[in-house]
Amino acid sequence: MGVVRGIISKVIYFKNNFGIVQITLDHNDPEMKEIIEEQYTLTLTVTSNFDRKPFKDELYEFTGQFKDTDYGYQFQANHFERIVANTLEGIVNYLSSDLFTGIGKQKATRIYHTLGQDCINVILNDPKSLDEVKGLTATNKAEIVKVLQENAHSRKTTVAFLNLGLTMTAALKIINTYGNDAYEIVKANPYMLIDEVEGYGFKRADQIALSLGFKESSPLRLKALIMYLLKELTYSFGNTYFKKEDLYERINKELRTWEIAFKEFNSFLEDLSKEKKIIIEDEDIFLKKVYDSEKSFAFKIKTLAEGETINIDTKSLIEKAEKKFGLSYGKEQKEAISNALLNKVSIITGGPGTGKSTIIKGIIYCFQDYYKASDLSIAQLAPTGRAAKRMQEITGKEAMTIHKFLGYEGGDIFRYGEDALIDSELVIVDEFSMVDIELANRLVSALTPKTRLVIVGDADQLPSIGPGDVLNDLIKSDYFKVTHLHDIYRQEEGSAIVNLAHSINEGYLPEYFRENSSDWSFIALEKDQIINGIIEVLERAVNKRMDLIKDIQVLVPMYRGENGIHNINNALQEKFNPLVDEEIKRFNHSFRVGDKVLQLVNRSEKDIMNGDIGKVYRFTKSENEITGLEVEFDSGIVKYKLEELDDLMLAYAITIHKAQGSEFDLVVMPITSQYYIMLRKKLIYTGITRAKKFLVMLGSVNYLAMGITKMDDQRQTKLKERLEDKREITPFDFM
């Protein structure tokens, strides 16, 4: 680590607390003179996070390290100290800087000569001392005092957080949230950071609390720990509730060195219930948000299903659709279309190749034909952008993500909901197995009573990443008309993959498995051969003019380890997009122009969603310095600043969950002992069904065979029970 000190001569860039500045080093300072002689320059470019916008003529000391770039030496700071100069020149430059409105060099000089070398501290200790300076208006005096006090307080607050071991970036996040009183607010209850400051979970808040002297047995700490574990368990395991006894055991496991008494644990649960953070139902503990979503969804979808139906001659409508599209629907497909037309809520479920997309097209045609209108408000929805795009390509009708349909605006904000309904006659949602209970509730809450809802999905695929097992619970409730599709219709390229997927879904490898086929193959490899094996497969595919970005996807269950996503991505980047010119380094990976990347979070303002895949189009620059990059997605070019790059990761390899809702011409799936803990039938089945034309698996056939016999743990939910509840339900039940 090194230190540089200098006066800011130019602010090159500043946004969201990140700045690039040029400083002039003092050749009279022995330490800085040494740097000047090494670099042959009086000026230096510095990148740093700041607590506010830096101004020209301010004196700073930066701690960090030098980096040799294509444009010369830069100093990357991880800590800064704003220094108040005590020389005539320094104080005049400071007080006449852009920081102080209306104070020029003449007034600044008079302040120095009147109040002396220590004038800054004199003013802070006695603001009335400015009355002694001739030529200052009341506005001038108020401005000087205000700015000096704000800067002194800001500096004191920043230093206080840095002394707790926080980085400058982490400290500034807190200060930006709470302002100059941030330290006092956090000191009173550090655990409020978890809910109020992005990027702060229990562990980071707990480190701050313990540094501030909070005891491990503090009630604030233990209640925060209960909430942390309940959220972790809910969103990691997908359950909508946990048994009180299970939660108690996990709390004590987390505490390690001591145990909380069950009576005290119960007392904390009661407190959290009164604070409306959790719901206690018998011995079951829910996050209130999830509880409300589950109960509300059950009520609203039952209410929708019980709405007025219409008497339609579906037989003649289906015959007209067959004539229109030049095909003959199977018995199950006709049943699915009829159920969709005759019922306010219907469900269609089936595996790959069973004609779900063909059915959707038929439903839309029959619906429009019955009402003799082509301009009916029909919404085709899917959880991901790629799935929506596929729907649109098949039906020729506009399709969009559920989030876009609901007017997602970021965070938990949606434009449409129970207070602003969407007037659609027909809503069809594909890939519904991916929809969690919270999104499902938001969707049905936004529908009018006249809406007809058709739910489509493969109940055998992985359930949603978020809490709930909504599709399976709806099917098992026996409350709705469900069409189960079994007959396979796909005969074109990729049909052998469909047959393999159905065999795996039934829990066995077919006899012909080792023979491979024109559509899929299995390459036996040791685990240390996996990455090279993947590279060879991709090289052959690229040589056959397949597009690495759009046509090919490597699917891996885990991020870490020898054959984890991170290692595979780095290896594939080096092979297919080696460093030629420049790159942006991010921790254990880097971004280069041409890289395949994945969006990790929803960003409504950019019209980009979690799971979207794109290609790095170019780097953005200011004064020859890289300030960010642009990514080309299907929806267009999206810009990212350097501080926004945590939204992206390399995507040559991604998880099977992230690929759900998408199809790729070629899917490459390694299967090794490293993945043993993750290998389950649903995971393997979901991965295989992402392959549209070709599938290559490589690794251990024994672990593949073992994985398809392992069932997923049943998620703990109450939706089925709530749907089967015969008593009269009212909106007050979930308030």
Per-residue pLDDT reduced to its tens digit, 664-703: 999 999 999 999 989 999 999 999 999 999 999 999 999 9
Distance CA 26, CA 7 (A): 8
Q: Which of 38, 67, 82 is the last residue of a domain?
A: 82
Q: Which of 460, 485, 510 is the last residue of a domain?
A: 485
In a shared domain, residues 261 and 300:
no
Burial environment of residue 424 by CB neighbours within 10 A (0 to 12, 13 to 18, 19 or more): buried
In a shared domain, residues 558 and 648:
yes
In a shared domain, residues 56 and 76:
yes
- Residues spanned by the domain of 362: 295-485
In a shared domain, residues 274 and 299:
no
Residue 558 lies in a domain: yes
In a shared domain, residues 575 and 619:
yes
Three-class secondary structure of residue 401 per DSSP: strand
Asked if residue 409 lies in contact with residue 447, where contact means CB atoms within 8 angstroms, the answer is: no
The residue with tokens 């993959």 is 497
Residue 347 maps to which CATH number? 3.40.50.300
In a shared domain, residues 562 and 449:
no
Residue 723 lies in a domain: no
In a shared domain, residues 278 and 364:
no
Asked if residue 400 lies in contact with residue 391, where contact means CB atoms within 8 angstroms, the answer is: no
In a shared domain, residues 577 and 660:
yes
Mean pLDDT for the chain? 90
Can you give the pLDDT at residue 28? Answer: 76
Can you give the pLDDT at residue 268? Answer: 96
In a shared domain, residues 315 and 372:
yes
Residue 203 lies in a domain: no
- Which parts of the chain have pLDDT scores under 70? 1, 39, 68-72, 85-86, 168, 374, 490-494, 726-735
C-alpha to C-alpha distances, 593 to 574, 611, 616, 646, nearest whole angstrom:
13, 20, 5, 17
What is the domain count for the chain? 4
Asked if residue 558 lies in contact with residue 674, where contact means CB atoms within 8 angstroms, the answer is: yes
Helix/strand/coil (H/E/C) assignment for every residue in 428-462? EECCHHHCCHHHHHHHHHCECCCCEEEEEECCCCC
Can you give the pLDDT at residue 727? Answer: 53
Residue 363 lies in a domain: yes
Residue 391 lies in a domain: yes
In a shared domain, residues 471 and 603:
no
Token digits for 199? 């990027």
Of 534, 574, 551, 531, nearest in space to 668 by CA? 534
CA dihedral of residues 654, 657, 662, 663 (deg, nearest 10) = 70
In a shared domain, residues 424 and 478:
yes
Residue 46 maps to which CATH number? 2.40.50
Q: Which of 82, 104, 120 is the last residue of a domain?
A: 82
In a shared domain, residues 271 and 303:
no
Can you give the pLDDT at residue 164? Answer: 79
Residue 169 lies in a domain: no
Residue 730 lies in a domain: no
Residue 711 lies in a domain: no
